[in-house]
Structure 1
């Protein structure tokens, strides 16, 4: 074979593959976003989070390594060491959204809410790490309120930092129910790539045929409040007081405290302002999607988290399924106790796996369009 022919083969362009990349997940939690990438055959080499209670679930379900570290103090050298040598880098993450929570902002003066960027240091730290290691592809997921808070300053700062590093940035507000998650959950999803724009895949749910609460949890065996199912320790709801038991019994499917006799009302319900809180003590509907899962998703008084039919709030397992975690996802390390509140926080904070899959597929489609020499 002539030298010219050898050179021709040597210079032939090849499609870039998912296996060419190594992924690191910042603020990984128990692995909702990571699991979406795993399902799409990406290799997630590491998850980093300050909440050490997430270690078991993250590692057990994702064949990845959990690092208990503070994102605000991790160095670029330390972050690079988490990637597989020789692989191209993808950095993803969901900076905790508590600073943007409506509940966390109640009673706080507007001047105090907008005067300090200290609250946003995790997102700024994310941008610092992107600046320093320049992964080829990034994705950031957060709450939509980020676009409006302080006139969008924090979000605009984040985008400007990326664009200065020659990333093509795309973003949009998506609803997880459009991607097979049995839950209304609007999120901000941002992509950045050195190679061109990444577009989120089209909605996988058409004609409003969303996955319903019944489809997600209707197959589970019934349980009493406060009692674990013998074959699944996660299938357990909080024990109700006698008064709250009467309240849930008086609540119809899809209903709330307005179904009750006035003798069951709380003092706040008797005030004009309290009449606007229609979701608290509410039951879900079988043939609808669930409300947004929060860190208080197993509390009857914290939202529309009542089971559609059984006289209790939803169980931890039901919350996990509504977050689209697989039914065999392990949260509790054998022979180790963990409080229900901790697990509820882990589940409520997670990126729904179905949304993680959509993000991973979007990046996969982008990679398939790339070529290398």
Structure 2
């Protein structure tokens, strides 16, 4: 039965845009969301989505024709908790950067923006390749500016999916937004070397080492075993490609292959794509799985030991799809695209859980503290006005000192204080062009706890709104000058200092 607007409101509800074969929906469900609807236009991906998620209202439709009001109507009380989407990334990926052509699909990021504006979900999450922050920087900046004008607090980070249990080297740009709070980036559960109390990265052998040998696609069709194959199928390889694989070293580039066996375009001084015509290594993570995952010339997709590529099912497992997930197409090309274009399910779950926790904490219900329940409070004999004047006069020094102490303890050096930049950031790394603000929760409008004055209600509200507007202008000015901006709430610095430091460290690493 399809979900309708009488869906149980005890669970937060989500909508999946650019749904593909449904990997993001798998993660959303695991994180605790009820997925109300999904939008996908490609026929084979849509069939795969509906085969695995028959209870969800799926629209086979061009996203540009989808109206936010129609999606809101499916939600209880017309309120959507999470709007999630992975707009097509091919135009921003490094694999297409050499062509320097504008991909019309790039503009679909604006459709994500439009639907956030029309639906106004409590939270949203968007995923793409890191190239969106480089080749697609104007689109990303436009997205952020339009969303922040609605009152959303936005976090943008580039994450390595292997740090979250995905057996694959794949970096993804994640954009999280919320009304009333900042959704933290999930803390890693794994690390490359297994240090700091984390599990080591999952390897190729951990994931596909115990699978039986796959069947050739041509043989499966001839023997009528295609339906029973569970897409554990591979393409036939030419004799030349088999010879190339015999010389390929697991985990190494095609340079280890004798020049006489290389394609003509890879001979001599060619130093282009290095990951093609290679093998995976058992004890490492897989390379990034793409739509070319069963084609030797499109990546390091050779099996670690045998003269074949990985199968479609093996690629799906490396993308953390469930072992029994249906891939509903008879065509190898479409099956590979469904798998290769997916956001890994385990990674989607890790990110979605942060949105779920923010919603469960009740910190995403309003745009600013004035919407919280009002309360008259005194502190140590001071009334609210006296207290706030003292808070203002300190310049948020306590939390700044706390962050300075943590930075020194973590060994993060090279920062300067209170440089003459828009908004006067609290900490800046001039060489990396990274600016960090530590924002007091009351003055900057964080809905983390009840701080709303009962007296002079409108005056306080206007003051806070002006501060928020000034913050947005400072963010915009800094980004226009090439700075990367991080804003840290004082409550997050107190409750989750490790997450705050991780955000700063990642931004510095991306800028180095």
Q: TM-score normalized by structure 1?
A: 0.86
Q: Which residue of 2 aligns with 1:98?
A: 90
Q: Which residue of 2 aligns with 1:3?
A: none
Q: Which residue of 1 aligns with 2:286?
A: 290
For 1:213 and 1:74, the matched residues in 2 are separated by 40
- Match status 1:270 vs 2:267: yes
Q: Which has the higher contact order (CA 8 A, sep 6+)?
A: 1
- Give the alignment partner of residue 81 of structure 1, picking from 73, 78, 84: 73
Q: Which residue of 1 aligns with 2:130?
A: 144
Tell me, yes or no, if the aligned pair for 1:19 and 1:42 is still in contact at 8 Å. Answer: no
Q: What are the equivalent positions in structure 2 for 1:1-373 lying under 5 Å apart? A: 19-62=10-53, 63-85=55-77, 87-108=79-100, 113=102, 119-149=105-135, 152-206=137-191, 207-208=193-194, 209-223=200-214, 225-226=216-217, 227-228=219-220, 231-272=228-269, 274-332=270-328, 338-370=330-362
How far is 1:22 from its partner?
Answer: 1.6
For 1:132 and 1:252, the matched residues in 2 are separated by 52
How far is 1:286 from its partner?
Answer: 0.2
For 2:90 and 2:256, the matched residues in 1 are separated by 32
How far is 1:121 from its partner?
Answer: 1.9
For 2:86 and 2:348, the matched residues in 1 are separated by 11
For 1:322 and 1:257, the matched residues in 2 are separated by 22
Structure 1 stretches lacking a partner, 5+ long: 1-16
Q: How many equivalent residue pairs?
A: 345
How far is 1:163 from its partner?
Answer: 0.5
CA offsets per residue over residues 31-69 of structure 1, 9 Å max, x none? 111100111221001110111212232223234232111
For 1:20 and 1:196, the matched residues in 2 are separated by 20
Tell me, yes or no, if the aligned pair for 1:46 and 1:83 is still in contact at 8 Å. Answer: no
For 1:286 and 1:18, the matched residues in 2 are separated by 45
Tell me, yes or no, if the aligned pair for 1:279 and 1:304 is still in contact at 8 Å. Answer: yes
CA offsets per residue over residues 206-257 of structure 1, 9 Å max, x none? 4440010000111100235545588534101111112112221222322343
Tell me, yes or no, if the aligned pair for 1:142 and 1:188 is still in contact at 8 Å. Answer: yes
What SS does the corresponding residue of 1:100 show, helix, strand or coil?
coil
Structure 2 stretches lacking a partner, 5+ long: 1-7, 195-199, 366-372, 374-512
Tell me, yes or no, if the aligned pair for 2:13 and 2:80 is still in contact at 8 Å. Answer: yes
How far is 1:195 from its partner?
Answer: 2.1
How far is 1:90 from its partner?
Answer: 1.5
What SS does the corresponding residue of 1:197 show, helix, strand or coil?
coil
**Pair 246,133 (structure 1): closer, same or farther in 2 beyond 3 Å:** same
**Pair 18,78 (structure 1): closer, same or farther in 2 beyond 3 Å:** closer
For 1:18 and 1:305, the matched residues in 2 are separated by 44
Tell me, yes or no, if the aligned pair for 1:225 and 1:313 is still in contact at 8 Å. Answer: no
How far is 1:84 from its partner?
Answer: 4.3
How far is 1:135 from its partner?
Answer: 1.0
Q: TM-score normalized by structure 2?
A: 0.64
For 1:19 and 1:36, the matched residues in 2 are separated by 19
Tell me, yes or no, if the aligned pair for 1:18 and 1:367 is still in contact at 8 Å. Answer: no
For 1:221 and 1:302, the matched residues in 2 are separated by 24
Tell me, yes or no, if the aligned pair for 2:11 and 2:32 is still in contact at 8 Å. Answer: no
What SS does the corresponding residue of 1:99 show, helix, strand or coil?
coil
Higher mean displacement: 177-186 or 46-55: 46-55
For 1:246 and 1:29, the matched residues in 2 are separated by 36
Tell me, yes or no, if the aligned pair for 1:47 and 1:65 is still in contact at 8 Å. Answer: yes
Tell me, yes or no, if the aligned pair for 2:80 and 2:121 is still in contact at 8 Å. Answer: yes
Greater Cα radius of gyration, structure 1 or 2: 2
Tell me, yes or no, if the aligned pair for 2:203 and 2:282 is still in contact at 8 Å. Answer: yes
CA offsets per residue over residues 162-213 of structure 1, 9 Å max, x none? 1100011112110100000000110111111112000022101144400100
